[in-house]
Amino acid sequence: MDRIRIIGGNKLHGTIPISGAKNAALPLMIAALLTDETLILDNVPRLADVALLQRILGNHGVDIMAAGKRPGDHEYQGQTLHISAKNIIDTTAPYELVSKMRASFWVVAPLLARMHEAKVSLPGGCAIGTRPVDLLIMALEKLGAEISIDGGYVIAKAPGGLKGATIEFPKVTVSGTHVALMAATLAKGSTIISNAACEPEITDVADCLNKMGARITGAGTPRILIEGVDKLHGARHTVLPDRIETGTYAMAVAMTGGEVQLSGARPELLQAALDVLSQAGVSITPNNDGIKVARNGAGISPVTVTTAPFPGFPTDLQAQLMALMTRAKGASHITETIFENRFMHVQELARFGAKIALDGETATIDGVAKLRGAPVMATDLRASVSLVIAALAAEGETMVNRIYHLDRGFERLEEKLSACGATIERISG
Ligand code: EPZ
């Protein structure tokens, strides 16, 4: 299994190109199941999760062609996928595939909307909490689906097609909103989703669906209105930049000191996180090409942060912020409200000498003057990258084990960081 070796202590200087967002690319690829014409997606990141979803879609009969690089393409340019779900040959998504990636459960929505049936394995447990799918099932039932659960599979049927409805989510859910949105595009009549998630990835998917002929208004607000249409067609869409990757590298620069241009980043996608970094004493300058992040001389000030749905501080940056605050001049408080078990990184950060106390949903981090490198490993994607951030500022060597989590969500992490002066290498095998 690959590992990453980091020698800490170098400041970061240079430019980091920001890739397309994983959490938009995945539902966009799934949305291709809604049409028998080709959906072309540009700026798709080269990630293990994207490759796995290609296999999962392939199992339904979807053809995917990845275009190669063209002369003049930037070395970091994302890939272009041509996705054609002309013939759906199988409406079952098996346990072996769905259990590897939760988001693949979302295929239930387009399969049901277009084929009027789907049999999809329940995704099962997950390192960051129980993560049920009850609200996704509720949304599909509201749209007229008959749903039963048998042998670990959700069996969904809508013999006469789905029908528009009012879906009110009792709590904000990104997965629930994606599923309701995709399913409602082909339902008869109009659908209202209230208390919808407002995450930029939802808006990106809605924009793409509208290019495919859907009639969606209000995406990006808590009330989304969808007028169902009979058919969707092919389209071309560019995946928006990854706000979590952007925030992660901003925190890495804040941690090490130095100055880095995050090229292609869009500040409005992560304003809450940028505000927290400014509060911590980091200089954040939006410009034409993205965001410049710098920390020169001064130390890191402690902060108090609570995670919340967009536009609040994202749970997907909580672990990275915690790593940063291990070096703050004083005590920080971080409260996690989205997932109940998303503190797996706390024990691992302690291996660097960090002082973190957990009390229910809140972590109190007492900043220390120095971190020391250590062998570490993590059980989820964002937790893993928080260890990389700590290692970049720690004295001596860190070995990050089990990095397949990182490969799921960060494209060329070690290349991007070493180009800015970090001593970081992948050790294969
Ligand atoms: C998405 O997960 C992201 N994944 C997550 O990113 C992200 O952390 C999360 O949204 C919150 O922003 C993708 O986009 C692929 P939810 P999702 O439905 O959609 C509860 C990463 O590292 N809930 O908004 O699964 C749930 O348990 C990842 O890239 C129910 O109770 O999150 C949680 O407490 C990890 N019943 C809360 O809602 C349901 O039926 C929010 O979950 C569904 C969700």
Q: Sorting pLDDT into bands at 50, 70 and 90, what band is 125?
A: low
Is 102 assigned a ligand-binding role in the annotation?
A: yes
185: left (phi over 0), alpha (psi -120 to 50) or beta: alpha
Contact present, 319 and 326 (Cβ < 8 Å): no
Same domain for 248 and 234: no
Contact present, 211 and 139 (Cβ < 8 Å): no
Q: Is 69's C-beta closer than 6 angstroms to any atom of ligand 1?
A: no
Alpha-carbon span 140 to 138, nearest angstrom: 6
Contact present, 224 and 231 (Cβ < 8 Å): no
Same domain for 132 and 8: no
Alpha-carbon span 382 to 88, nearest angstrom: 34
Contact present, 184 and 226 (Cβ < 8 Å): yes
Pick the residue whose CA is nearest to atom 44 on ligand 1. 173
**Of 189, 218, 238, which closes a domain?**
238
Q: Is 174's C-beta closer than 6 angstroms to any atom of ligand 1?
A: yes
Q: Is 106's C-beta closer than 6 angstroms to any atom of ligand 1?
A: no
- Tell which wins on pLDDT, 242 or 402: 242
Same domain for 262 and 220: no
> Where are the strands (E) in 58-157, listed by range?
63-67, 79-84, 92-93, 117-121, 146-150, 153-157
> 419 by DSSP, 3-state: which?
coil
- pLDDT tens for 222-240 read 999 999 999 999 999 999 9
Q: Is 103's C-beta closer than 6 angstroms to any atom of ligand 1?
A: yes
Residue range of the domain that includes 119: 22-238
Residues 6+ apart with CB under 8 A from 120: 92, 93, 98, 105, 107, 108, 111, 153, 154, 156
Is 142 assigned a ligand-binding role in the annotation?
A: no
Which residues are identified as catalytic?
126
Q: What is the pLDDT of residue 67?
A: 78
Distances (CA, A) of 84 to 22, 62, 66, 88: 20, 6, 12, 10
Is 131 assigned a ligand-binding role in the annotation?
A: yes
Same domain for 287 and 206: no
Alpha-carbon span 340 to 242, nearest angstrom: 24
Give me the percent of the chain exceeding a pLDDT of 70: 97
Looking at residues 345-361, what average pLDDT do you find? 97
Alpha-carbon span 135 to 338, nearest angstrom: 15
Is 132 assigned a ligand-binding role in the annotation?
A: yes
* CB-facing half-sphere around the CA of 421: CA atoms within 13 A: 15
Same domain for 15 and 68: no
Distances (CA, A) of 83 to 21, 30, 87, 362: 18, 10, 12, 43
CA of 195 to the centre of ligand 1 (A): 15
Same domain for 132 and 249: no
Same domain for 250 and 106: no
DSSP letters spanning 75-95: TTPPEEEEEE-SS----EE-H
- pLDDT tens for 354-389 read 999 999 999 999 999 999 999 999 778 999 999 999
CA of 305 to the centre of ligand 1 (A): 19
- pLDDT tens for 41-89 read 999 999 999 999 999 999 999 999 997 766 666 666 789 999 999 999 9
Q: What is the pLDDT of residue 56?
A: 96
Looking at residues 335-348, what average pLDDT do you find? 93
CA of 131 to the centre of ligand 1 (A): 7
Same domain for 278 and 419: yes
User: Looking at ligand 1, which atom is closest to the CA of residue 137?
Assistant: 40
CATH code of the domain containing 373: 3.65.10.10
User: Looking at ligand 1, which atom is closest to the CA of residue 131?
Assistant: 27
Is 2 assigned a ligand-binding role in the annotation?
A: no
Q: Sorting pLDDT into bands at 50, 70 and 90, what band is 296?
A: confident
Sheet holding 290-295, edge to edge: 12-17, 258-263, 290-295, 283-287
Looking at residues 422-428, what average pLDDT do you find? 95
CA of 171 to the centre of ligand 1 (A): 11
Is 23 assigned a ligand-binding role in the annotation?
A: yes
Q: Is 215's C-beta closer than 6 angstroms to any atom of ligand 1?
A: no
> 376 by DSSP, 3-state: which?
strand
Alpha-carbon span 62 to 412, nearest angstrom: 27
**Of 238, 264, 283, which closes a domain?**
238
Same domain for 13 and 32: no
**Of 187, 208, 238, which closes a domain?**
238
φ, ψ (nearest 5 deg) of residue 203: -60, -40
Ligand 1 pocket test target in 174, 343, 406 with most atoms within 8 Å of CB: 174
Pick the residue whose CA is nearest to atom 20 on ligand 1. 131
How many domains does the structure of the chain reveal? 2
Same domain for 161 and 137: yes
Same domain for 129 and 155: yes
Same domain for 262 and 399: yes
CA of 202 to the centre of ligand 1 (A): 12
Q: Is 104's C-beta closer than 6 angstroms to any atom of ligand 1?
A: no
Q: What is the pLDDT of residue 176?
A: 98
User: Looking at ligand 1, which atom is closest to the CA of residue 339?
Assistant: 34
Q: What is the pLDDT of residue 75?
A: 64
